Amino acid sequence: MLVECAVNSVTSTTRPAIVVVGDAEQALQRLGDWRAIKALADVTIHHRPLNGQALVDALKDADAVVLVRDRTPFDAGLLAALPRLRYLVFTGTRNTTLDLAPLAARGIPVSHTEWGPSKDSTCEMTWALILAATRQLETHAALLRRGQWRPDAALPLAGVLHGQTLGLIGLGEIGGRVAKVGRALGMQVVVWSPRMTPGRAAEQGAVAVSLGELLAMSRVVSLHLVPSLATHHLLGAEQLALMRPDSLLVNTARAALIDSHALVSALEQGQPGFAALDVFDAEPLALDSPLRQLPNVLLTPHLGFVTEPVFARFSAGVLECLEAWLTGKPLVRVIAGGGESA
C-alpha cells in the first residue's frame, strides 16, 4: 500500500548514510539489487548482533536505519543518541521492540515491508519441531553420525500423534493453519486464548477449553499468541505443573509467553516431558543457557520466518522504501512520523 505523505524539500550536501542492522542471514543484499540505492547513499550492513555502545556507534551517523525484524530493540534512549536519523524502516508488519512514540515526536517517518509467506513458514516450522521431537529425530541422527544404528540402552521409543490431543494457545492465522494439519493427522484439537469463544473454535474444527484443561489434557501444546502485558509469562511454574509427563511443549511464537526459569525447572522435573523451542528471551541464545544442557529439549535458532521467499519480500520492500525516501517520492507503508525525504 502506498501512503501519500507530505515531502519536505530538505536536501543534504553529503550523501545520506543508511545502516542496516540484524541481517544475520546475510540475505538482503543477496536477494535484491542494491545498485540504485548505493548510487545515492552510503550503505553499511551489520550481520552480527549489536547492543549497548556498539549499537550506538554503528547507528550514530545514520540518516536512515533498517531493522531486520525485532532483533534490535529501538527505544527513546537509543533514538536520543542518533541526532542525524531521519527515516526508519523495519521488515515485516509488526515490530514488538520498536518505540514509535519518540520517533513520531521527532517527526521521523517509519515504514515497513510486506511479510511474504511467513504464516505458512511458521506453521511448517511448528510441525517440523513437533514431528522431529515426537519421532526423536535429533537423537537418532546423532547416533548414525557416531556410527551406531540403535541406542546401547533400552529407551522409550518414538510416539505417534494420531489419536492424540493437540492443544493450541492462540488460534489466529498461524494457529489456524497448525490446527488444520493436526486434524489431518487425526488429532483432536483443543484451543484457548484470552478471547476465544466456542463458536470461533468450532469454525476451525476445534473445541474451546480453559487454559488449565488444555495443559492437562494435551499431548502437544503449541503457542501462537502475540505477546502483551496480559500474556507475559502466561506459562509459569503453576501452569507448567499441569502438563502431562509425556507432553511436548512447542514455542515458535515469542519467548515472553513462557517464564524461562520456570520452564528449565519444569523440564528438569520431567513435566512437561519435552520442549521444542524456536524463540528465546535473548537471541542469540547464550552459550551458558541451561536450556543447552537439558536432554529433553530441541532447540532451533528462531527459524520460523527464516525462508527464502520471506526474505526476498523483505529485501524488495526495503529497497522500495529506501528508493522512495532517497528520491523524494511519497513514502510507502508509513505507520508513524512525518514524510521527510533524503
Pairing assessment for the beta strands 274-277 and 248-251 based on DSSP bridges: parallel
- Selection from 137, 204, 207 nearest residue 175 by Cα: 204
Q: Which amino acid makes up residue 312?
A: A
The DSSP H or E segment spanning 90 is strand 87-90
- In the beta sheet, which residues pair with residue 192? 169
Contact 121, 143 (CB under 8 A): no
Residue of 131, 272, 277, 280 lying closest to 215 (CA atoms): 272
What is the DSSP pairing of strand 334-336 with strand 297-299?
unpaired
Closest CA to 125 of 261, 256, 304, 315: 304
**Distance (Å) of CA 189 to CA 36, 181, 210, 245, 258:** 50, 10, 13, 19, 21
> Which listed residue (219, 254, 313, 333) is catalytic?
254
How far from the centroid of its chain's Cα atoms is residue 70's Cα?
Answer: 8
| DSSP letter, residue 260 | H
Q: Are 206 and 171 in contact (CB under 8 A)?
A: yes
Full 3-state SS string of 171-235: CCHHHHHHHHHHHHCCCEEEEECCCCCHHHHHHCCCEECCHHHHHHHCCEEEECCCCCCCCCCCE
> Residues 25, 114, 138, 283: which is the catalytic one?
283
Residue 254 annotated among the catalytic residues of the structure: yes
Catalytic-labelled residue, pool 302, 313, 320, 333: 302
| Catalytic residue set | 254, 283, 302
